[in-house]
Amino acid sequence: MPDELLQRLRRFHDDYFPGVAAQFQNLVRDGQHPTILFIGCSDSRIVPYLLTGTGPGELFIIRNVGAFVPPYDGSAGYHGTAAAIEFAVLTLEVAHIIVCGHSHCGGIRALYEEVPPEAINLRAWLELGREAVLPVQVTEEALCRTEQRAIVLQLERLMGYPMVRGRVEAGRLALHGWHYVLEDGEVHVFDVKSGGFVAAAQALHSGTGPYHPFTDASPGGSGGAPA
């Protein structure tokens, strides 16, 4: 049986890499200086570089089920997502954090369904989206609203990270909530003023967090998730 993965590695090295070798060698010599932290769902249909028109060295990426942000609770456990947020903000000093959820998210749908009993970590992890769940019949529309509410919830949790809050309030870091509709190829960005999501084609900005230094307050204070 041919080893398909090995063939792909050889193809990358022999066919693709020569065209970008200089770029990677520069990135090694000068180090990485990405200005964007992209927190996205692990879903295989999200391709962050394609979506944002970026290439090597431009995105620092965290991916997990649901594009969730754990609370900053100071427990210093094995919190991969929290550790990467700290590194991106404190060491890389990114200027933007994007939380990118998406349509047809299995992580969000799982909040309305049974999780396999042996998936103890998944079950615990999904609780990070629990507050976004609506007490309604599961429909495509309800799932879409839950996906969007979950994005705002994660943005609010990001503001619980002292190094994030401090920089956002100082105007050095911008938060962006994105809901990516896979089938339309369109991102709907969170607008803190209206408390809703606006298609990028109509939006006046690339999304705001629940707190924006140039507006008076988030809708309804800290609990600003869209209804």
Binding site for Zn ion (CB under 5 A): 41, 43, 105, 107
Supply the minimum distance, in Å, between the C-beta of residue 66 and Zn ion. Answer: 6
Segments of the chain assigned E as strands: 36-41, 59-64, 96-102, 174-181, 186-191, 196-199
Closer residue to Zn ion in complex, CB, 207/219: 207
Sign of CA dihedral 77, 79, 84, 86: negative
- Among residues 44 and 91, whose Cβ is nearest to Zn ion? 44
Q: How far is the CB of 60 from Zn ion (least distance, A)?
A: 19
In the complex, the smallest distance separating the C-beta of residue 109 from Zn ion, rounded to whole angstroms, is: 9
Sign of CA dihedral 17, 19, 25, 26: negative
Which is nearer to Zn ion, 111 or 174 (by Cβ)? 111
Q: Which is nearer to Zn ion, 151 or 189 (CB)?
A: 151
Instruction: Give dist(CA 158, CA 73) in Å, integer.
Output: 12
* Smallest separation (angstroms) from Zn ion to the CB of 22: 35
DSSP, collapsed to helix, strand or coil, labels residue 66 as coil
Q: How many CB atoms lie within 10 A of CB 122?
A: 14
